[in-house]
Structure 1
Amino acid sequence: MTELLIVFVVNDNVQLMDIAGPADVFSEANTLYGQPIYRSILVAPQKTIRSSCGFVMQADYCLEDINALSIDRLLVAGAPNAARSVPAQGVIQWLSHTAPQARRFTKLWPTITTVAGMVASVGLLAVAMKSLPLGTVYTVWTGIGGVGAFVVGVMFLGEMLSFTKILAAGFILCGLILMKMGK
């Protein structure tokens, strides 16, 4: 399997947890999968970056050294007071050119779909809370989300289907039914 390239775009004053948290998730996925499926790299306007806590980091590549067509996931790491800071020269131009070419860059339509789903989700949650106690509603809601994510992963994102995954989803569904019956 070809490794998927995860590019973290960082700037001076970057918050370390915005890099470390997601990078650890991809690293753990590699461990659980048993082989490298994700390769995370740091990309910055210059090779040396100073984080918001003062640590100095070395970027793997400078912005101009990255081929946009090879990027699978493009993540822009945040910074404290990012709204008031000015990105380094060329970052905005690079992102506006590169981001649309990355394979997993969020386009407008998925964003609109996500917002519509969130609004519907909150509305349905409010309706459910009228007839069920909060603990039951929360359990049912997270169970539906887990099974829904599993179904979307298998049907649309190419996730492998296995007996264990089907069994786990079945147990979640049984738990949801029992929670509703125990009302």
Structure 2
Amino acid sequence: MKTLPPDRLRRRLACRALALPLLLAAAGTSPRAFADRYAETGAPALERRVKAAFLYKFLGYAEFPPQAFGDPAGPLMLAVVGSDDMAAELARIAAGRVIAGRPIAVRRLGEHEPIPPVHLLFVAGSDNERAARVLRAAPAAYLTVTECEGGLRFGSVINFRIIDERVRFDVSLDAADRKNLKLSSRLLTVANRVQKGGA
């Protein structure tokens, strides 16, 4: 497989990230402004920013069950396990914004820290065992998102993948159903793969 020079790889990642309208809406900017802003960013940082934008946007395409909100005016709670950088980026994107009239709160959690009820839980990293362990310990998390090879097999609702140097995601409707979580058809349309009824 041909390896691109770092500069070309960064530019290609930035340009390919623009292909999904979901991401552009999350970024809240035009394609040119997005490319200008991130073209000089290192590939890992760019990937993190793209994923953070997706995580923020996922909230607007998920319908949570009534019991997910103890307080009718309470915030949408997001938790990140395994990446302080992702938590910081997600907090930056969500700062001052509301979804369905609710503010957004982002919390960093340690790997062995108890996971409180949250609307979205992101488990960072490629370690399958850690992802499986965290997901088992998070029964009160609704929209669970991972970025490891076996994310959906371990019960994650959404799992990020890198395909052709572009951030994509797979969706498990079975996992969403188990959480009484409804996902918008607009979200499913831009998914790389939608899984229903088995692995």
TM-score bracket for this pair, using the shorter chain length: 0.3 to 0.5
Give the strand-richer structure, 1 or 2. Answer: 2
TM-score under structure 1 length normalisation: 0.33
Which has the larger Rg? 1
TM-score, scaled to structure 2: 0.31
More helix by share: 1
